[in-house]
């Protein structure tokens, strides 16, 4: 992940394949707020506005459940895994 810092102090994250991310919004089909996983595809690499495919870590799922993924997740609906909210 690359982080772009702006003059006003805000940051924009540019996610890459392999990054660990956490969902900040529920997804339509799979994935709930707070779930996390590894990015395995980025629609527009190098862009802060991209859609991510994420292999979920298995939050509240059986260890033998099928591969769980959230696809086409807008990059603005995730944050780096482990990052505290800044409020």
Model confidence pLDDT, tens digit, residues 39-55: 999 999 998 899 999 99
Residues contacting residue 72 through CB under 8 Å, at least 6 positions apart: 43, 51, 52, 53
The mean per-residue pLDDT over the stretch 52-73 comes to 78
Entry pTM: 0.81
What are the sequence ranges of the domains in the chain?
15-78
* Cα separation, 46 vs 13, whole angstroms: 10
Q: How confident is the model at residue 79 (pLDDT cuts 50, 70, 90)?
A: very high
Q: How many Å apart are CA 53 and CA 87, to the nearest integer?
A: 27
């Amino acid at each position: 992940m690359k982080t772009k810092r702006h003059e006003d102090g805000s940051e924009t994250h540019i996610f890459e394949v392999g990054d660990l991310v956490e969902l900040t919004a529920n997804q339509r089909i799979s994935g709930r707020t707070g779930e996390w996983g590894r990015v395995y595809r980025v629609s527009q690499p190098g862009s802060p506005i991209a859609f991510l495919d994420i292999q979920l870590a298995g939050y509240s799922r059986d260890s033998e459940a099928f591969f769980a993924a959230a696809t086409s997740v807008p990059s603005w609906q995730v944050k780096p895994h482990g990052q505290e909210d800044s409020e």
